[in-house]
Amino acid sequence: MFIYIFLFFRILRFYFLLLKNGAWLVFVFLALFLLMINEFNEREKP
């Protein structure tokens, strides 16, 4: 049982490290996505 908890925390720590390093990537993708939506809305206007 203890081994499972240990593995869980290992995976959790790895995930948080990944999140910390990949946070700027997510931010960049979000910014690009918002820009695309804005561009699309501008194009849809008559």
Per the structure, the complete domain to which residue 45 belongs is given by 1-46
The CA distances from residue 9 to 19, 23, 26, 41, in Å, are: 15, 20, 24, 44
Using the predicted structure, report yes or no on whether residue 35 has a pLDDT greater than 80: yes
Structure confidence at residue 16 (pLDDT): 82
Confidence of residue 20 (pLDDT cuts 50, 70, 90): confident
Which one has a higher pLDDT value, 9 or 24?
Answer: 9
Report pLDDT for 27: 82
* pTM of structure: 0.45
pLDDT at position 34 over 90: yes
- In angstroms, the CA 42 to CA 10 distance is 47
The count of domains in the chain is: 1
